[in-house]
Structure 1
Amino acid sequence: MLAITDNGFAGKPEAIFISWLLWQPHGADLAVEALKEVQRLSRYEKVDPDIARLKALFASLAGSNRPMH
């Protein structure tokens, strides 16, 4: 769902997050799925502020109020 390019990713973090939410299947455990996205975004060593913001949005949905690595 996240379009990562050589120059970062396509779109604003909030728009990507909302799009991701809308594409989740009915009945999906959003906290579990959000945690998977946090883990995917953690792969990027060079943290872009937009990626960090997107990761924080997913972490919030996953139920964490602390930074996730």
Structure 2
Amino acid sequence: MFAFTETKPSGTGKPESVFISWLLWQPRGADLAVEALKEVRKLARYEGGDPDVARLKALFASLAGADGRLH
């Protein structure tokens, strides 16, 4: 398990690039909304202030069909 120790943006990749890569690696027939919700829950642990993490979480939440705030 990885732990984030930096509060500054990592600069290693754009959240959109990570999101697209994740989409491309999903198996055929996968329920993308369900899988995206799993990612939202994982990312909720790392929401310390990194805008890249917040943006990535928002992308997954959008795919999951979230109308409100996800925990």
- Size of the alignment, in residue pairs? 66
**Identical columns (%):** 68
1:28 alignment partner in structure 2: 30
AA in 1 matched with 2:45: R
Q: Return the TM-score normalized by structure 1.
A: 0.82
Structure 1: tracts of 5 or more residues without a match: none
Mean Cα deviation higher: 21-30 or 6-15: 6-15
Return 5+ residue gaps in structure 2 as ranges. Answer: none
1:29-69 superposed Cα distances (whole Å, 9 cap, x missing partner): 00000000000000114131110000000000000132222
Q: RMSD between aligned alpha carbons?
A: 1.9
Q: Greater strand share, 1 or 2?
A: 1
CA distance in 1, matches of 2:49, 2:64: 20
> TM-score, normalization: structure 2?
0.80
SS where residue 42 of structure 1 aligns? Answer: helix
Q: Which runs of 4+ in 1 moved over 3 A?
A: 4-10
Is the 2:15–2:53 Cα contact (8 Å) retained in structure 1?
yes
